[in-house]
Chains A and B, each alone.
Chain A
Amino acid sequence: MKREITLKINGEEYTSTVEPRTLLVHFIREHAMLTGTHIGCDTSSCGACTILIDGKSAKSCTILAIQAVGKEITTVEGLALADGPHPLQEGFKENHGLHCGFCTPGMMMRAVELLEKNPNPTEEDIRWGISGNLCRCTGYNNIVKAIKYAGAKMRGDELPSTEPEFVE
């Protein structure tokens, strides 16, 4: 039942022979060798595998590779701009939006679509927006700040403070 498929990932074509049951995340990691996309669960819950398919954020562990034929796939490796990091990457760096980093690629890929639909999200919008992405380290506060920062940068607004907030 194996067949040859070609997937377009970050603008490049990758051809491989797979079974229909090959999950998109496995194609990305083990056939295209793009290991920035992570696998954090077996139940479609964690969002570590989030990528963009035709601009829509999706859990690549819950999609068959064969379903993605003919689509534009973007992974975290395709996020950086020609002249440097993407505003989201800068936002996560400047705001300590990661500790171990395992959730980070998924968080950023999800945030790409979130900011595209809602360029100036409130804290609540961001928290609902990343509700399909789990982080075991940060407690989310700095992830929310990172996405806010990226939004401001993309809008060309004044950048919010990256100083940590201390609660008395």
Chain B
Amino acid sequence: MIPSSFDYSAPTTLEEALNLLEEIGDEAKILAGGHSLIPMMKLRFAEPEHLIDLSNVPGLSYINTEGNTVKIGAMTREVDAEESEELNKLFPIFKDVGKLIADPQVRNFGTLGGNLAHGDAANDQPAVMMALNAEIEIIGKEGTRTVGIDDFFFGFYATAVEEGEILTAIKIPIPDGKFGSAYHKSERKVGDYATGGVGVQLTFDSSGTCTKAGIGLTNVNPTPLRASRSEEALVGTTVTDEVIEQAAQFASEDCNPSADLRGDEDYKRRIIKVLTKRMIVKAKERAFS
């Protein structure tokens, strides 16, 4: 299948890309890795009139530690986050999620920025970024602004990236104290979107008390979902089995899955409960290892 006709530009600076976005207006779309957009265009679910390819804009693909923040460029490929030793030493969640996103060929092309900007609750990076409490850097004609991950996802395919804007980077705070992260999703087969997925990051003080918890859920709500009640249940405790059980129960109650070919609502809630439990255990283990 072939997409409907469109025009194509490959600017070589961000400024040029922003000018093109302004000139062309809402018929223009950014092309990053193209591995969400092109499949949708082939099926004619999307028919943009003009693609603005970011591949030739230098300086958008990097993983840098700056003080207590790790900054990841929007055009960083999934494979590069999966394979980065520097990133995974701090946040092993990227190795977990890397292996579970699509397949190696897709990860060679798909970008982290695109995975978030696509605004699809079935994608895996949104829940990871919620667990890690990331901030998203967005550039427009008026300059750069930063949006917290909780204010980023609006609805189905809708994010805080507005018309005329480009997502440029993801900023992940490095917590104080001991911290560990983990992600897993249940999938019918390799390469499938999640039946349900859970990302967790836990931070502990020197006495072993959990000071911060981040839990993001994949594909069990119209938008990527933060499991707030579960997080609150963990903070201030030493994350005992009892507390973990309670947090997992909250996640399964607070998500809003809809029945589809991957399972009915009840099944998905059970998946979320089991995975929440397992990922809390794994994140805790990693925090202390």
Residues of A within 8 A of B286 (CB): none
A42 to B34, CA, bound (A): 15
Question: Are A57's CB and B104's CB within 8 A?
Answer: yes
A108 to B51, CA, bound (A): 32
Residues of A within 8 A of B35 (CB): 44, 62
Question: Are B108's CB and A56's CB within 8 A?
Answer: yes
Q: How large is the interface on A (under 10, 10 to 19, 20 to 34, 35 or more residues)?
A: 20 to 34
Which of A62, A114, A133 meets B34, CB within 8 Å? A62
- Given contacts A44-B39, A47-B103, A67-B34, are A21 and B108 in contact (CB under 8 A)? no
Question: Are A129's CB and B43's CB within 8 A?
Answer: no
Interface of chain A: mostly helix, strand, loop or mixed:
mixed
- Residue-wise interface mask of B (170-192) relative to A, using a CB-CB cutoff of 8 A (1 in contact, 0 not): 00000000000000000000110
Question: Are B34's CB and A63's CB within 8 A?
Answer: yes
- Residue-wise interface mask of B (76-108) relative to A, using a CB-CB cutoff of 8 A (1 in contact, 0 not): 000000000000000000000001001111101
Which of A26, A42, A132 meets B43, CB within 8 Å? A42
Question: Are B104's CB and A129's CB within 8 A?
Answer: yes
Question: Are A19's CB and B5's CB within 8 A?
Answer: yes
Residues of A within 8 A of B34 (CB): 62-64, 67
- Given contacts A23-B2, A26-B2, are A42 and B42 in contact (CB under 8 A)? yes
- Given contacts A20-B7, A21-B3, A64-B38, are A44 and B106 in contact (CB under 8 A)? yes
B4: CB under 8 A from chain A?
A: yes
B69: CB under 8 A from chain A?
A: no
Which of B6, B38, B53 meets A62, CB within 8 Å? B38
Question: Are A132's CB and B109's CB within 8 A?
Answer: no
5 pairs of residues in contact across A and B, judged by CB atoms under 8 Å: A47-B103, A58-B105, A59-B106, A67-B34, A133-B103
Chain B residues in the interface with A (C-beta under 8 A): 1-8, 10, 31, 34-35, 38-39, 41-43, 51, 53, 55, 99, 102-106, 108-109, 190-191
Chain A residues in the interface with B (C-beta under 8 A): 1, 19-23, 26, 42-45, 47, 50, 56-59, 61-64, 66-67, 110, 113-114, 128-129, 131-133
